[in-house]
Amino acid sequence: MIGAFADLVFEVSGEKVLTFDEFKHDVKSRYARHELINQPPVLEWLGSDTQKITLTVTLTTALNVNPADEIETVKQLCLDGVADWLIIGNEVVGATMWVITDASTKATAWDGEGNIIVASMDLTFESYVAEVAET
């Protein structure tokens, strides 16, 4: 197993190849900007922002993947707001669970019956905190 998120499993085996590329992890902070007259603005640190991970998944029947099934799985994870741990390699990514906030699909080939045989999906995961910590 290369990685997993809920029912989505990235793997390379003799039976199936479902991987990703263009993995990008964004970490940001939040700042308030206080405008001053005749001086540069003053930034006030408010805390960390949610983290985002984007990646591209290639789905092809040539690698024993059913694109329509995988697209439906990701669609339901996104629309249902499923929060789960994101695992890459043998490591959990980050200290919080993640949700899929965006899943964009591009189908590029179909068979003679109209079934998708090649597609790619751009996925955006965002760190998810279920409960607000009291200060």
Amino acid, res. 134:
E
Domain chopping of the chain, boundaries: 3-128
Which pTM value belongs to this model? 0.87
Closest CA to 127 of 71, 87, 90, 84: 84
Q: Which pLDDT band holds residue 71 (cuts at 50, 70, 90)?
A: very high
Distance CA 118, CA 135 (A): 49
CATH topology for 3-128 is Elongation Factor Tu (Ef-tu); domain 3 (2.40.30)
In the predicted model, is pLDDT for residue 131 greater than 90? no
Q: Which pLDDT band holds residue 46 (cuts at 50, 70, 90)?
A: very high
Instruction: For Cα atoms 65, 4, 130, give the angle at the middle one, nearest 5 degrees.
Output: 135
Distance CA 44, CA 30 (A): 9
Residue 87: CB atoms within 10 A of its CB come to: 17
Mean pLDDT (the chain) is 94
Q: Return the SS3 of 45.
A: strand
